[in-house]
Homo-oligomer: A and B are copies of this chain.
Amino acid sequence: MILVKAGGGAGLNWPGLAEDLAAFRGVTPVALIHGANAARADLAARLGVPVRTVLSPAGISSVYTDDEAMDIFCMAYPGLANSRIVACLQSHGLNAVGLSGLDGRLWEAKAKKDLLIQEDGKTKLLRNNRTGRVEKVNAGLIRILLDHGYLPVMTGPAISRENEIVNTDNDGAAAAVAAALGVETLVFLLEAPGFLRDAADPQSLVASIPRDEIDRYGAFAQGRMKKKWLGIKQALDAGVREIFLGDGRTAHPLRDALDGRGTVIR
């Protein structure tokens, strides 16, 4: 089984990805997870409440999600982005069904309301952060849909144990889904050629990383790749056999990634 996690940037080539997914029909089951960063940032800016990105003491960036940011998240992720993606996949003959982590408790998370951040050289505590880490995946719901020929198209938010709507890291969720479903192949589609030794230099693509050297390469990760690296480690620990990081902007993003044109971790 293949799980594809597509980033939420504006540059992702969804019609191309849809064509690639259509080629897999009848070959192996496929499920999809997507982000919606671009749609969220756009809506937040239009509403005059820009997305607030914060940095943890360990240097991992994340989004501070108060009540209003949570509403904007719901409007952008399961609302606008998921609707458009499902319609795009349907137009390519794929019987897509959109699911947020709330549906059937697909992604149940442990809420983490207090957030330590570093700002202006100090460590601060932000309260009422509506985020959580996915601990439990409703694999049964995904399997039912796959068994009946549907393509599950998952996205945040997650639901907390206490039934709150919470933001969650989609890469961490992808790792949890991969573990729950026994996924062998996990593909991350980015707005970059793959894993770069130097984020500023597209020529510094690393074509192949042995799984036991993950930590060594992780030292090169910058910005959002740091968080993705945590998800990748989590997925490898959960038994995923191979992970591809490919460019989501090419004419055939999934085919190219699986052909090894990005980064392969085995």
Contact = CB atoms under 8 A, between A and B. Distances in A.
A67 to B, nearest CB: 12
A144 interface: yes
Contact of A100 (B47, B98, B102, B165): B98
Contacts of A150: 104, 141
Contacts of A141: 97, 148, 150
A82 B86 contact: no
A168 to B, nearest CB: 13
A46 B47 contact: yes
A157 B83 contact: yes
Contact of A83 (B80, B83, B102): B102
A103 interface: yes
User: Oligomeric state, in number of copies?
Assistant: 2
Interface string A86-122: 1100110001111110111100000000000000000
Contact of A75 (B75, B100, B148): B75
A84 B163 contact: no
A45 to B, nearest CB: 11
Contacts of A102: 83, 86-87, 90, 96, 98
A105 B98 contact: no
A163 B15 CA distance: 13
A218 interface: no
A195 B188 CA distance: 53
A215 interface: no
B105 A75 contact: no
Nearest to A82: B78
A240 interface: no
Interface in A146-199: 148, 150, 157, 159, 163-165
Given A79-B74, A103-B98, A148-B144, A84 B165 contact: yes
Given A87-B159, A104-B150, 8 more contacts: A75-B76, A75-B79, A75-B80, A79-B80, A86-B102, A90-B102, A95-B105, A140-B148
22 contacts: A43-B75, A47-B47, A71-B80, A74-B79, A75-B76, A75-B80, A76-B79, A78-B78, A86-B100, A86-B102, A87-B102, A90-B102, A90-B159, A91-B163, A95-B104, A96-B102, A96-B104, A97-B103, A97-B141, A98-B99, A98-B102, A140-B148
Interface of A: 43, 46-47, 71, 74-80, 82-84, 86-87, 90-91, 95-100, 102-105, 140-141, 144, 148, 150, 157, 159, 163-165
